[in-house]
Copies of this chain bind each other. A is one copy, B any other.
Amino acid sequence: MDQLDDLKITQPPQTLREIVLDRMRNAILSGRFASGERLVERTLCDQLGVSRSVVREAIRYLEAEGLVEIMPNKGPMVARMDWAQAEQIYEIRQLLEQNAAAACAIKADASLKQKLTAATKAIEAASAAHENPALIAATTEFYELIFTAAGHHIAWEVVQRLNGRISRLRLLTLATTDRRVPGPLRMAQICAAICANDPDAAAQAVFDHLEEATKIARRLLKETA
């Protein structure tokens, strides 16, 4: 099977539109395009070296994702976010992530526990090295393991999309070092609860983690606003 996969003409059917979509999404998520910044179509065409059709279709997708807003007669801009929205998103994450962690704790087998432990270590490493992009990636990986193991693929989709809307906040909260209990420790608690096949403890650990993240986010957003 593996050999076959290797033989396969791994021609990435990645279309130009998808590349542009990724680039633009990353530019927004990473803050390269500031919140509220206007996205002038023809300018983007020049920057990306593609035609308007491609850019416009990518914008439609981002609009549906909630990352881009269309101002009537003005064109697209990077979506803005306020605390009222962020709060709701954190609340939804609470529900979905607790649910997933609990389900995962019930189903977790040896293989998953091993992977989850590795992911936790990766988070600790990235955190210790203060490498924020790696930290984001490792945290995402951690949660993806949990949601996938729980079989909650659609919930994971939802969470990812919502996270996109608060990406800047996540960057800030993850980078915050003045937490009383460091973030990686929280992850370790979640990991431990799942490894112990204890759904209640897993849900509680997720609750603690998100509760803290919510508080930090609230403080950061309120003071910058």
Contacts and interface: CB of A to CB of B under 8 A. Distances in A.
Interface of A: 13, 53, 56-58, 60-66, 72-73, 84-85, 88-89, 91-92, 95-96, 99, 151-155, 157-158, 162
Given A53-B53, A60-B60, A84-B151, 15 more contacts: A13-B73, A53-B56, A56-B57, A57-B57, A57-B60, A60-B61, A60-B64, A61-B63, A85-B153, A88-B152, A89-B154, A91-B99, A91-B152, A95-B99, A154-B162
Copies, count: 2
A62 B72 CA distance: 20
Contacts of A158: 92, 158, 162
Instruction: Tell me whether chain A's interface is mostly helix, strand or loop, or mixed.
Output: helix
Which one of A53, A154, A157, A158 has the highest number of Cβ atoms from chain B below 10 Å of its Cβ?
A154
Nearest to A21: B60
